[in-house]
Amino acid sequence: MRLKPETDPESVIDRSFSSLWRYRGVLPIQPEGAITLTEGWTPVVPVDATTWVKDEARNPTGSFKARGMSMAVSGAVALGVERLVAPSAGNAAGALAAYGAAAGVEVLVAMPEDTPRAFVEECRHYGARVELVPGTISDAGRWLGDNRSPGDFDLSTLKEPYRVEGKKTMGYELWEQFEGDLPDVIIYPTGGGTGLVGMWKAFDEMETMGWIGPARPRLVAVQSDGCAPIVEGMRNDRERTQPWPDPKTKAYGLRVPNPIAGFLCLRALRQTKGTAVAVPEKDIIPAAAAMSAATGVDACPEAGAAWAALGTLRDQGWTGGEDRVLVFNTGTGIKYR
């Protein structure tokens, strides 16, 4: 999409939509042709004077994955595909199953066999076929690769261009919700990386259009110490992430041992003067409960990791004082219990 300098936000934002479709001026799909369940435009919940939570649990199917799947399913259906397929840690599968149902297109999802049952049942409830595969999301992806039919369209993270376009709307929403400004720090639980990369793209677009200057929120990628390829890449100054051996975490969305967009995450973190934090696995579930108790949002384990990282970064003095910090609750916690 070609963006012009000095673009009036009013020519991009259509405020008649209380959903991500309000950003129709920078989206590859228009709402009139979209497969939509009214996704996005989620609230920013104030916690204290310098802390907010963006509550992505309020999306259809309860996670930020709805944003990308709405866009990607809309694009794929316009091409006339027969079946939509994707590997998933749980949330992307639920979203794909729902949007496939809304579009009237068959869905096949492959998930690790230890994925919490609620995600599996959710997919079946929407009429999707579910394949449970030993191992991680990488093994699920391999299984799909070996079992594909000619009419299948693969919606794997960053293997098609539209999911990231849906997720970039999180960045646009923050700009509006911070009244034409952005938080100083954004803490994001990171697995495959499209959430982080999508917002990074949105900020670049906004600068091109003259909405913001060159300053950026410092992006923080949070992982479990049981699977932390991005943290390892930052620590060792790598350009690309290395595959993480024997990945283990109950924050299933973070169990991505070899993220295809790892190099883009590393670039986004460095360019924004951000960082990456590995939270001890044993702290993650208690931190999700602490986050819910402190904020009232239904925090998923991935968000619990982000909440724990906030504590660590404040203890280290990496953030503090007047910094306005935004933590993402990327999905609902109830499906994990």
Ligand X SMILES: Cc1ncc(COP(=O)(O)O)c(C=O)c1O
Which residue number, 51 or 194, has a Cβ lying nearer to ligand X? Answer: 194
State the nearest-atom distance from the C-beta of 191 to ligand X, in Å. Answer: 3
40 binds ligand X (CB under 6 A): no
330 binds ligand X (CB under 6 A): yes
19 binds ligand X (CB under 6 A): no
Q: Within 13 A of 311's CA, how many CA atoms are on the CB side? A: 15
State the nearest-atom distance from the C-beta of 302 to ligand X, in Å. Answer: 3
State the nearest-atom distance from the C-beta of 305 to ligand X, in Å. Answer: 9
Site for ligand X, residues 290 to 329, rule: CB under 6 A: 300, 302
State the nearest-atom distance from the C-beta of 15 to ligand X, in Å. Answer: 27
Q: Could you tell me the sign of the dihedral formed by the alpha carbons of 110, 188, 41, 166, in that order?
A: negative
Site string for ligand X, 173-212 (x = CB under 6 A): ----------------xxxxxxx-----------------
C-alpha separations of 261 from 3, 179, 191, 229, 264 in Å: 24, 30, 10, 11, 5
268 binds ligand X (CB under 6 A): no
State the nearest-atom distance from the C-beta of 49 to ligand X, in Å. Answer: 26
Q: Could you tell me the sign of the dihedral formed by the alpha carbons of 111, 115, 117, 123, in that order?
A: negative
CA dist 17 and 38 (Å) reads 9
Check if the beta carbon of residue 24 is closer than 8 Å to that of residue 70: no
333 binds ligand X (CB under 6 A): no
Q: Which of 253, 257, 262, 304 binds ligand X (CB under 6 A)?
A: 253
CA dist 149 and 83 (Å) reads 9
Interacting span for ligand X (CB under 6 A) from 88-96, 97-105, 239-247, 288-296: 88-96
Check if the beta carbon of residue 29 is closer than 8 Å to that of residue 74: yes
Query: What is residue 182's three-state secondary structure?
Result: coil
Which residue number, 183 or 193, has a Cβ lying nearer to ligand X? Answer: 193
State the nearest-atom distance from the C-beta of 197 to ligand X, in Å. Answer: 8
- Residues sharing a CB contact under 8 Å with residue 104, sequence separation 6 or more, in sequence order: none
CA dist 90 and 329 (Å) reads 16
State the nearest-atom distance from the C-beta of 4 to ligand X, in Å. Answer: 29
89 binds ligand X (CB under 6 A): yes
At 231, list the tokens.
């943290």
Binding site for ligand X (CB under 6 A): 63, 89, 91-92, 157, 189-195, 253, 300, 302, 330-331
